A and B are shown apart, each in its own frame.
Chain A
Amino acid sequence: MILALETSCDDTCAAVVTPAGELRANVISSQGIHDRYGGVVPEVASRHHLELLDAAVDDALARAGIGLGDVTLVAATRGPGLVGALLVGLSHAKALAAARGLPFAAVDHLQGHVAANFLEPGALQPPFLCLLASGGHTLLVRVDDQRSHTVLGATRDDAAGEAFDKGARLLGLPYPGGPARERLAREGDPGAFAFPTARGVEGLDFSFAGLKTSLLYRVRDLTGQGTPSAVTHGATAPPLARDVAADLAASYQHAIVESLAHRCERALEQTGLRRLAMGGGVAANGPLRERIGALDAEVTVPPRELCTDNAAMIAAAARFTEPLPFPAYLGLDAYASGQRTPRGPV
């Protein structure tokens, strides 16, 4: 049995997957504490990981109906992510393995998102394209085998989820704005306002900064007041009429969806691949799933709890990672940025 831990951001996750790739337990302990700070605070996240992790591991083992003695491989996310947070899970996982002389697999978080597609039954067979979009990352990768991926395009500024969050804040919605913004967007007309989709930008990279600025100016024009800082801090909701706010939310969402879908379309054309998978929290967005689903490709999206950060995907990736025998992994450190994933040509 593979036991995996994932603590790269603010979800404390533990999972059990069989050596054949079947999911036995997927425990996600959402900290639910960061809303009051208006975003994830690394120190707060790290403290909570330490408080929640032992229980998450016990819970995963119990739900899988196994004990630590049944574990044959331990895995954990090594990066990219918040280093202080990663180190809680990585230290714990290395020590669990060391105490029992077990092998250990250090997994790249982004490869984990890709590997969510390798869980059985119904694992996706490479080659395929994968769009990873969340609050922390936005990239389009090519997957030729189960061990690695090649980055075809990445965001040059904000992640797609970040763009969604910032938009919600500009519209005066409380953090996290996701659910309220989606509800609002459903009431509005996606064609009411024209926001930039960076369609003109060549290649497969993404950019959301211009879109965010464009929304900021629209809000200022429409409310006729409010300095950018007053609006961005969201201390007071701008006095926008509900229907105008709904149109803005719908149009803004439309622009993000278009910009993501357009790069996917372009990548399918350029690579000649016919299969496209999605991952990351943004993959749960209804209009995005609809728009991508209409592309001329075979589109698969894992269930929501496998799209957002989870440890099952880390266990899934561990199956295809060369495990390090005891004691080769004892000195492993975490890494913050994603430079370990090489960027390659289409």
Chain B
Amino acid sequence: MSGAILGFDCATPATAVALLPGGEDEPLRARHEPAPGERPGHASRLLTFCAELLGRAGLGFSDLERIAVGTGPGTFTGLRIAVATARALAHASRTPLAGVPTLDALAEPVPGPAVLAILDARRGEAFAAGYLEGVRTLPATALDPDALARLAAREPWLAVGDGALRFRARLEEAGATVPPDDATHHHLDAAAVCRLGRTIPAGPPEAVLPDYLRLPDAELTRRVRA
């Protein structure tokens, strides 16, 4: 056992992978951010990055002490690619697997007493979760802009994530602070997935499932008709 932990997340258009070697070593990172208009590269980049980082550390999959995967909410297909990959890696290398909520990982490196982690949920909505003194006090929820503005007015939040950029005007109007567009805190750091994954109890791989937060459209339509 090297004490090494591999963590990744595909809940946003980015493919984010990190390897936290054991001991005091700095995390190794690999990341692909699609250019505007480009499709996410989850399927083609995720495993390539994993193998690349392990190679740089001189490790193999079976040397890992643990694997951690972002479980969303986020893009449905990205979540499934990450979870299907993580479960197979964990199963085949007999490594414990920890599911890490994506918004927890987004908020983890952000300093400040009140942090609002927000992802762009498309369709004019946001996925948001709130953290006071590092403790999640508002679980991940899908919100429309009005609900998000009401939530933003409740605390002097520091709001981060691509959803904070998307709804910057509404958030600032409600009193929240949104760092500049190019601030690193808007990007999920896979090293945070590793760090949180180390603290979460790891179970059998098949117990880790995505947290979609939304029903499939066909199911919503069916319920409306029923």
Contacts and interface: CB of A to CB of B under 8 A. Distances in A.
A-B complex is real: yes
Interface of A: 36-37, 41, 43-44, 46-47, 49-51, 53-55, 57, 68, 83-84, 87-96, 98-101, 327, 330-334
Contacts of B216: 41, 43-44, 47
A53 B219 CA distance: 22
A267 to B, nearest CB: 37
Contact of A92 (B48, B88, B222): B88
B202 interface: no
A50 B47 contact: no
Smallest CB-CB A-B distances: 7 pairs:
A95-B88, A99-B92, A43-B216, A330-B47, A41-B218, A54-B206, A91-B84
Nearest to A86: B43
Given A44-B216, A96-B92, A99-B89, A55 B81 contact: no
A89 to B, nearest CB: 8
Nearest to A85: B80
A54 B87 contact: yes
B51 A98 contact: yes
B29 interface: no
Contact of B88 (A43, A96, A331, A333): A96
Contacts of A55: 206
A51 B80 contact: no
A95 B85 contact: yes
Interface residues of B, number: 35
Nearest to B226: A36
B45 interface: yes
Given A68-B92, A84-B76, A334-B43, A44 B84 contact: no
Interface of B: 43-48, 50-51, 60-62, 76-77, 80-81, 83-89, 91-93, 205-206, 209-210, 212, 216-219, 222
Contacts of B48: 327, 330-331
A99 B87 CA distance: 11
B84 A92 contact: yes
Contacts of B50: 98, 330
A94 B85 contact: yes
Contacts of A84: 76-77, 80
A50 B89 contact: no
A169 B47 CA distance: 44
A6 to B, nearest CB: 14
Contacts of B76: 43, 46-47, 84
Contact of B43 (A36, A54, A91, A99): A91
Contacts of A91: 43, 46-47, 80-81, 84-85, 88
Given A37-B222, A87-B77, A330-B48, A53 B84 contact: yes
Contacts of B218: 37, 41, 43-44
B196 to A, nearest CB: 21
A46 B205 CA distance: 18
Contact of B84 (A95, A327, A333): A95
